Structures are given as C-alpha cells and as structure tokens.
Amino acid sequence: MDKILIIHGPNLNLLGQRETDIYGAATLEEINKKLNCIAKDKKVELSIFQSNHEGEIVDIIGQSKKNDIKAILINPAAYTHTSVAIRDAIAAVNIPAVEVHISNIYSRENFRHTSLIAPVAYGQISGFGVESYVLGLNAIVNLIEKIA
C-alpha cells in the first residue's frame, strides 16, 4: 500500500477548543479518524504526525524518503508564514506535498497572505474548513495514481 505522511503543525492539537469561530468544532482526533476512513476506502496507508516544533517537522519530512512516503499532506499552520526550514525540507526530499489550511489564509490578516511553503508544494487548498483535509487527501491519492 502506498504510504502518505500527514503533518499537522503547531497548535492544531488544540482544534476543537481553539478559535472555533475560525477553525470549527472538530478535534484533531476526529479529523484523523475521517482521514483514516478515506485512506481505508482508497487503500492507502497514513502516517499521521503533529508537532508544535519546527525542527521535529523538518526531521519527519527529511526521513520521508527512507520511510517510503509517496506524498505529503501538510498543514504547516503558523509555520506556513515563517518557516524557510520546512520549505527547504520539502524541496530537499522532492516528494509531492499538498498544503492545506482550514481557514482561507488570504481572507485573514496580511501576515497570513504569504505562504513560504506554496512555491514548493504541488498545490494548496485553503478555506474549506475540515473539508480542506478531505479534498487534500483525495487530491493526493489521485496524484499518486497519476505519477505511479
């Protein structure tokens, strides 16, 4: 089975209690459950990782070739707007990455309008709530089939 790495960045462990007017009521556990259901249906395997630490995210991306990861679904959260290191890690492994955001980052504060990740991502999905993850995972499965 093809393996997909799912990365949730900082503060996403607080989903369900964090600014629910922006991010909704679903918890990270509920989102992961939904993604695992889709994965089962699509016959792919997920490796799911959440961290509040930039270096840990860089490390897990760096190990993805060795771990036979076919594609990466990442919500880099606040690191979207600041992390050259995560951007460089994605570029370094040369594995297709899809960037997702729950909120529409372009309709929010100016500092969220820039994604350092987008130029090295295969594509970006932003603003569909939890559905962004579902769209992202489906896009990745199609992508893997296309490049297989």
Q: What is the smallest separation between the CB atom of 68 and ligand DQA, expressed in angstroms?
A: 27
Contact residues: ligand DQA, CB under 6 A = 11, 75, 77-78, 80, 101-103, 105, 112
Return the HEC string of 66-124: CCCEEEEEEECHHHHHCCHHHHHHHHHHCCCEEEEECCCHHHCCHHHCCCCCHHHCCEE
Dihedral-angle region of residue 127 (phi above 0 means left; psi in -120 to 50 means alpha; beta otherwise): left
User: Which residue, 36 or 103, has its beta carbon nearer to ligand DQA?
Assistant: 103
- Active site (annotated) includes residue 101: yes
Q: What is the smallest separation between the CB atom of 43 and ligand DQA, expressed in angstroms?
A: 27
- Active site (annotated) includes residue 23: yes
Q: What is the smallest separation between the CB atom of 19 and ligand DQA, expressed in angstroms?
A: 9
